[in-house]
Amino acid sequence: MSPPIAIDHADAPKSSLKTSQQQPGHAVTPTQFDPAKHLAFSPPSTVLGMEDLGLKPTALSSVASTEPFPLLSHEAVLQHRRELFSQDVLDSCLHHTRPGSVQLRGMAPRYAPFIHQFWRSPEVLRIISDIAGVELVPALDYEISHTNVQLGPNGLDDVRNTPVEPPVATEEAIRNFEEEKSKKQEVTDQTKPIIEWHKDSHPFVSVVMLSDARHMTGGETELMKGDGTTLKVKAPQMGCAVLLQGRYITHTAAPVTNMPERVTIVTSFRPKDATLLDETTNANVRNKSHLSELYYQWTTYRLDVLAERARIVADALRKRYKENVKNSDPEGKSGLCRAETVNVADMRKWADEQIRYIQQTLYEMRPLAQ
C-alpha cells in the first residue's frame, strides 16, 4: 500500500497537470557541501527580541526574529534550486494544499543530499544557534528545506519549468517596484496570502529566499505583536535568511505581485538539549506529508529525547548514590546504603512529565480528520 499523502490538485487546470507531467525536471550532479564555497554569512544587522513585539521571552530564547542576513552563496542557491526542482522531487514531494502556492517537502536526504549536508553541517548549525541564543538542530530531516512556491499564471507548468538561475525582474516589474516602494505598507491581504496567519509547528525556523528579490514587490514576513498590531520584516534578498521563533509568534507571508516567482525555503529547528522545553508539534505539516515517513522520523526523535532524559536522570541518581555511600557507610561499600537516594515525589513529577510527552507524541499522529 502506498503511504498516505495529501495532495490536492483541484485548483490547477487539468490541462496544466497533463502538460506538467510531460516536462522534465532538472538533472542533478552530485555536489558536496563546502563551507568555503557555499556560505556567504554575515551577521544580521538587527535582532528583534520577544519584548520588542510585546511578547514574553520563551523558556528557550528571548530572540523573536532577525532582519535578513546573508547566508547562502550564489552557488549554494543554485544547487538548492537544482535539487528542489529535480524530476524526483517534483514527482514525489510536491503538495498542492492551497490556492496560489505549492509546497515541496521531505526531499532530504534521498533526493536532496546537498541540501541535507548544508543544513546539518556544523558550520550552519553554529550560525543558527549563535543567533538564536540556544543550541539548535534540525527538527527532523522531513523539515529540512520545506519549499514554498508561489504559483505563476501557468500554475504547475511554471513549477515544472522553474529555471536553475532565478529569473530577473522585467522592466514592467521594476516600474511597479518603484511605484510601490514609496507607498505606506498595509497589513497583508488575507484573501491572497501565500500562507494564512499561523504559528509554526517547530520552535525556530530559518526562511531563505531562493528568488531574485531585488525588485520584488511584496514577499515580506509579517509578525503579529502582543497588542494586535503587526510588523513587517522586509523580504530577504536572494541567499539571505530570516530566523524566527515561529512556534510562539503568529505570522504570515505577503504575496509577490510583480515577479514571475517567489521561492522560499523553510528549515525548522528544535533545541538539541533534551532537557529544554520541547513543544514541537505536527499541527501544520501532517496534511502535506508522506505520513509513514513523517511518523517514523517523529517517533524516533521523540524516543531519542526520552532516552536521553532517562539517561540524564539515571546518571544523576548513580552520582548521588555514590556520594551517599561515601558519606553514610563507614566502609564506603555499596549494596545496603541507608541514605535516601531516590526522592519519590521528584521522581513522580519527572515521570508525569514524560507521560505527558509520550501522550503528546501519540496525539500528533492522530487521524487527519481529528
pLDDT in tens, 153-199: 778 888 989 999 998 877 777 777 777 666 655 555 555 555 789 99
Residue 6 is assigned to a structural domain of this protein: no
Confidence at 257, pLDDT banded by 50, 70, 90: confident
Question: Is the domain of 214 the same as that of 312?
Answer: no
Residue 292 is assigned to a structural domain of this protein: no
Residue 96 is assigned to a structural domain of this protein: yes
Question: Is the domain of 164 the same as that of 210?
Answer: yes
Residue 296 is assigned to a structural domain of this protein: no
Burial bucket for residue 124 (CB in 10 Å: 0-12, 13-18, 19+): buried
Greater confidence (2 vs 300) lies with 300
Q: DSSP character for 164?
A: S
Question: Is the domain of 213 the same as that of 355?
Answer: no
Dihedral sign for Cα atoms in the order 132, 231, 238, 161: positive
Greater confidence (228 vs 181) lies with 228
Residue 285 is assigned to a structural domain of this protein: no
Question: Is the domain of 256 the same as that of 313?
Answer: no
Long-range contacts of 29-36 (CB under 8 A, 24+ apart): 29/82, 30/113, 30/114, 31/79, 31/114, 32/114, 32/117, 33/114, 33/117, 33/118, 33/121, 35/121, 35/123
Distances in Å between the Cα of 255 and the Cα atoms of 101, 191, 217, 235, 296 are 10, 10, 8, 11, 34
pTM over 0.95: no
d(CA 2, CA 106): 16
Question: Is the domain of 185 the same as that of 325?
Answer: no
What mean pLDDT comes out for the span 290-298?
Answer: 98
Residue 281 is assigned to a structural domain of this protein: no
Q: ∠194-199-203 over CA atoms, to 5°?
A: 120
Question: Is the domain of 244 the same as that of 326?
Answer: no
Question: Is the domain of 318 the same as that of 191?
Answer: no
pLDDT in tens, 36-76: 999 999 999 999 999 999 999 999 999 999 999 999 999 99
Residue 9 is assigned to a structural domain of this protein: no
Residue 331 is assigned to a structural domain of this protein: yes
Question: Is the domain of 112 the same as that of 223?
Answer: yes
Dihedral sign for Cα atoms in the order 14, 155, 9, 26: positive
What percentage of the chain reaches a pLDDT higher than 70? 88
Domain that residue 351 falls in: 302-363
Distances in Å between the Cα of 164 and the Cα atoms of 79, 82, 86, 314 are 8, 6, 10, 52
